[in-house]
Amino acid sequence: MARPNLFPAADIGLRNALQKLEQLEKRPTPEECREWVKPYADWASYITIYLWGSLD
């Protein structure tokens, strides 16, 4: 994989999952998602998979 750490912050599913995880009243913006993931940048792809999986 050429880009090992992907975090598609504009993805609606990912934004919905982050809203659910953080118990937010409204869906986070793509910029808010980017800020949220910064401390975990080395794990961005794993976080993406986890968040998508949490929607099942």
The residue from 5, 8, 11, 19 that is catalytic is 11
Q: Known catalytic residue: 11?
A: yes
Which residues, 6+ apart, have CB-to-CB distance to 10 below 8 Å?
A: 30
Which residues, 6+ apart, have CB-to-CB distance to 17 below 8 Å?
A: 51, 52, 54, 55
What residues are labeled active site? 11
